[in-house]
Structure 1
Amino acid sequence: EAACPPPAGGLSRLWALLATLLAPALILLLRRRLARGKERRDRLRERMGLTGRPRPAGRLIWLHAASVGESLSILPMIDRMMARDAGLHVLLTTATVNAADLLDRRLVGEAWGGRVIHQFVPLDVPRWIGRFLRHWRPDAAALTESELWPNLIEACHRTGVPLALINARLSDRSRDGWRRVPGLARRMLSRFGWIAARSAEDAARLRALGATRMDVPGDLKEAAAPLPADPAQLAGIVDAISGRPVWLAASTHDGEEELIAQADQVIRARHPDLLTVIVPRHPERGAAIAAGLETPPVPRRALGATPGPTDRFWVCDTLGELGLFYRAVPIVFIGNSLPGPGRGGGHNPMEPARLGAALASGPLTDNFTEAFARLGDTIAIVADPAALAEWVDGLLSDPARLAQSRRRAGPVEGDPDLPDRIAARLLAMAGG
């Protein structure tokens, strides 16, 4: 006779116990991340639920967005929340230094930026999450996309913090992983007072794990405004690349630059003065990328360098500047999409599409299935460097084809009212 699985509560307690036992190892992990530049020394304690900042008086809503893309997607929603409640404060947590750096710059330009408090999210250790919640005492909380942390979610439930999952997404791989612990997944998802799925497909995967109290309002990333661009900076980039055939590899991941270099070599046979612009997803990799390309020294934007007439590559290892490059370079390949170890899932195609770029991507786009489906055949899917080179060469060799590809790609408009609708729902959860 098959053994019965342990009850969901038992699995939840086991998860909490394991996290508690692993806490010393997680501290060592944080120190290793610090040595690699992935944590801030002066704020490392935040990852253990400690802070030196006071809780502001009045209503406080906690929003968690793991990285850069998620953080950008919820800024319009925060804007609507602040407009609806002039006394509101938002506690905004992220898990990456890049997201924190980007928010530091973006919030300065917002009239309500002083009412947003950034913290690094504590790791999913019960004691650390407990410290965090006791200090901040949020009136409501919302996790973004696929941030499912059982101890954090259970702690919010236990302390009476209303909890939402917004722009919720779940890949087939993640769904299959949670199916191995179905009781834990069902218990965790039941703790959410509201789940706002970004697509019908994501909603179906979440329901398969036991999610309820869910609707499908749409994708905040599709509703976002075009990425910003400083006019003076844009003029400088256009001047630096003018007069040359140029293409952009955007949001590339580790190992993908080698494939980009292979494509560059093929394209260059037809276009000897080609410039290949690489914008890595993680700017801290800029030095390693430049060193790994075949034609050092490679100019790096992080060092203030611009490409000379004989430079083959330009590594633009800065943060939050894709709005500049999507405007300046008409041919865009979207990274994290070519087959390779540790890669796959793609990046948001709506951002370059909104700005009228001709688009290509590798075949691994599971994180943005709905967006890619919506754009359809306006995005070329290239399987390898040879196919990528053929696509770029075809556009560079035929200006009329390039112009047609750009017209088909954009402009793309999402639902402009979506951030306001989600903002209103979260404020209602917080008692307003």
Structure 2
Amino acid sequence: MLTRLPYTLLWLLALPFVLLRLLWRARRQPGYIRHLGERFASYRVRAPGPVIWVHAVSVGETRAAEPLVRALLEAWPEHSVVITHMTPTGRETSRALFGSNARVLRAYLPYDLGCLAERFLRHFRPSFGVIMETELWPNLLAACRRNRVAVMLANARLSERSARRYARAPVLTGLTMKALDVIGAQTAADAARLQQLGAARVSVTGNIKFDVTPTAAALALATQLRERAGERPVVLAASTREGEEALLIDAFVRLAPAKALLLLVPRHPQRFDEVARLVAGRGVKLQRRSAEEAIDTDTRILLGDSMGEMFAYYAAADVALIGGSWLPLGGQNLIEACAVGTPVVVGPHTFNFMQVAEEAVRTGAARRATDAADGIAAALAVLGDEDMRAQMAAAGRAFATQHQGATRRTIELLRGLQVQSPAPRPGLRAPAAR
């Protein structure tokens, strides 16, 4: 407790500013102040029967969690799954993926104060928990340890940059790592960095995102988008971040032939209108995906202003540029593009997905560009070479298929928690697989 005291005091001091930031962000995205009580562990929703808790911060983690959540529901059929988030976009993604499933509920995770963590655990009484990727909250994990709630860090990734940041507080980080009952790391390099920070039970399970597959509805939507585009080649700029759109738009307008169409999909929905204004300010004709109208021949950009349709966008495109990699933001997931056989171009900044990006380039599923203009030029080169496009498509599908199986390995580790975890305190349940 003494080790966490300075951290807790910092949280208490920061809380007014955290709330002000929440209100500020709600100006552009009102979802940030909906369900505000949940951020202080005040919940109206209750799960029927025993609960498995899965924490998925935002969009990327939620989409990665999809095959794992479905596997959990199958492996523990008497349980419900409560998915907690930190962002409204993550929550909406969860609703889009599981909205009709009565056994999947969603809520915000409370801020990391011990009293709020205790209230969260008392309300949902989870049998065990799964935290996706890198989200570690010291007070929450300490509360789980006190209440004998086993927790797994699944699909764990830790870049060198993040590892250096955690290493600045070695005692707190070490205790937090030791509070995890088991860790499933994406790669051996991730596992090594986690162990250096004090993690004990670490296994390399692979990347669960390879197990995400497109639905029939996504593929049908892709067909509709292609019909709207007609015979025009489609260059997708996927999950772009602030500052990248201007670079990509300018390069595309300058380099691409008039018949080529740029399908531009910002990562954050609150920026859809902002990006539309950015395009209009350049005098470039834009249409929106949400308008569901035929795409005019003089339209240069189709704005992908929708949530939960990234698989459809990838499947509809002839080549995809991956956002987050054109400025030093770490890149975004390219696995979905590979899974549907869409050639990929990434920028120089892929440190959040380094091994996946490097292997995709090495196997021929992706090409790396030096900047946004070089990325557009590389995408146009792929468009102009039918043989190259076919080879990259085949390489991408093979790359995605080769790395599947992480979900199964994660479930196996969770089954092991039945015998490895301490006995539950009265009122809290231990996992019981079927």
How far apart in 2 are the matches of 1:242 and 1:392? 19
Q: Report whether the alignment pairs 1:190 with 2:166.
A: no
Q: Report whether the alignment pairs 1:399 with 2:386.
A: yes
Please say if residues 38 and 96 of structure 1, whose CA atoms lie closer than 8 Å, have aligned partners that are also in contact.
Answer: no
How far apart in 2 are the matches of 1:228 and 1:97? 26
Distance 1:272 1:26, change over 3 A: closer
2:352 corresponds in structure 1 to 367
CA shift for structure 1 position 134: 1.9
How far apart in 2 are the matches of 1:362 and 1:17? 40
How far apart in 2 are the matches of 1:366 and 1:276? 26
Q: Report whether the alignment pairs 1:316 with 2:304.
A: yes
CA shift for structure 1 position 402: 2.5
CA shift for structure 1 position 415: 5.0
Q: Report whether the alignment pairs 1:14 with 2:1.
A: no
Distance 1:406 1:247, change over 3 A: same
Alignment deviations for residues 281-318 of structure 1 (CA, whole Å, 9 cap, x no partner): 11221111011011355212234455311011111111
How far apart in 2 are the matches of 1:304 and 1:414? 36
Q: Report whether the alignment pairs 1:87 with 2:48.
A: no
Relative to structure 2, which stretch is displaced further, 379-388 or 405-414? Answer: 405-414
1:388 corresponds in structure 2 to 375
Distance 1:41 1:183, change over 3 A: closer
Q: Report whether the alignment pairs 1:287 with 2:282.
A: no
How far apart in 2 are the matches of 1:368 and 1:353? 14
DSSP 3-state at the match of 2:238? strand
1:431 corresponds in structure 2 to 431
1:133 corresponds in structure 2 to 121
Alignment deviations for residues 85-109 of structure 1 (CA, whole Å, 9 cap, x no partner): 2211111111121221122122145
Q: 1:103 aligns with which of 87, 94, 97?
A: 94
1:217 corresponds in structure 2 to 205
CA shift for structure 1 position 30: 2.5
Please say if residues 190 and 211 of structure 1, whose CA atoms lie closer than 8 Å, have aligned partners that are also in contact.
Answer: yes
Q: Percent identity?
A: 30
Unmatched tracts of structure 1, length 5 or more: 1-8
Q: How does 1:42-61 map to 2 (within 5 A)?
A: 42-57=34-49, 59-61=50-52
Relative to structure 2, which stretch is displaced further, 217-226 or 193-202? Answer: 217-226
Letter in 1 for 2:245: E
Q: How does 1:14-413 map to 2 (within 5 A)?
A: 14-37=6-29, 39-57=31-49, 59-108=50-99, 113-226=101-214, 229-268=217-256, 271-293=257-279, 294-295=282-283, 298-339=286-327, 343-377=328-362, 378=364, 379-411=366-398, 412-413=400-401
Letter in 2 for 1:364: H
CA shift for structure 1 position 422: 1.8
Over aligned residues, Cα RMSD in angstroms?
2.0
Please say if residues 167 and 198 of structure 1, whose CA atoms lie closer than 8 Å, have aligned partners that are also in contact.
Answer: yes
DSSP 3-state at the match of 1:410? helix
Please say if residues 290 and 296 of structure 1, whose CA atoms lie closer than 8 Å, have aligned partners that are also in contact.
Answer: no
Please say if residues 342 and 396 of structure 2, whose CA atoms lie closer than 8 Å, have aligned partners that are also in contact.
Answer: yes
Distance 1:428 1:203, change over 3 A: closer
Please say if residues 19 and 126 of structure 1, whose CA atoms lie closer than 8 Å, have aligned partners that are also in contact.
Answer: no
Letter in 2 for 1:143: I
DSSP 3-state at the match of 2:183? strand
How far apart in 2 are the matches of 1:373 and 1:118? 35
DSSP 3-state at the match of 2:35? helix
CA shift for structure 1 position 382: 0.7
Alignment deviations for residues 102-152 of structure 1 (CA, whole Å, 9 cap, x no partner): 22122145xxx2111111111223332222122112121121101011122
Distance 1:102 1:414, change over 3 A: farther
CA shift for structure 1 position 220: 0.8
How far apart in 1 are the matches of 2:97 and 2:411? 19
Unmatched tracts of structure 2, length 5 or more: 418-429
1:3 corresponds in structure 2 to none
Letter in 1 for 2:10: L
How far apart in 2 are the matches of 1:306 and 1:211? 54
Relative to structure 2, which stretch is displaced further, 130-139 or 329-338? Answer: 130-139
CA shift for structure 1 position 252: 0.5
Please say if residues 299 and 306 of structure 1, whose CA atoms lie closer than 8 Å, have aligned partners that are also in contact.
Answer: no
DSSP 3-state at the match of 1:324? helix
How far apart in 1 are the matches of 2:203 and 2:3? 28
How far apart in 1 are the matches of 2:203 and 2:233? 46
Please say if residues 165 and 195 of structure 1, whose CA atoms lie closer than 8 Å, have aligned partners that are also in contact.
Answer: yes
Alignment deviations for residues 231-285 of structure 1 (CA, whole Å, 9 cap, x no partner): 54333211111222321111111110011112212323xx122211101111221
DSSP 3-state at the match of 1:52? coil
Distance 1:80 1:264, change over 3 A: same
Distance 1:173 1:305, change over 3 A: farther
DSSP 3-state at the match of 1:373? helix
How far apart in 1 are the matches of 2:170 and 2:9? 18
Distance 1:175 1:66, change over 3 A: same
CA shift for structure 1 position 216: 0.8
Please say if residues 219 and 315 of structure 2, whose CA atoms lie closer than 8 Å, have aligned partners that are also in contact.
Answer: no
How far apart in 2 are the matches of 1:157 and 1:409? 42
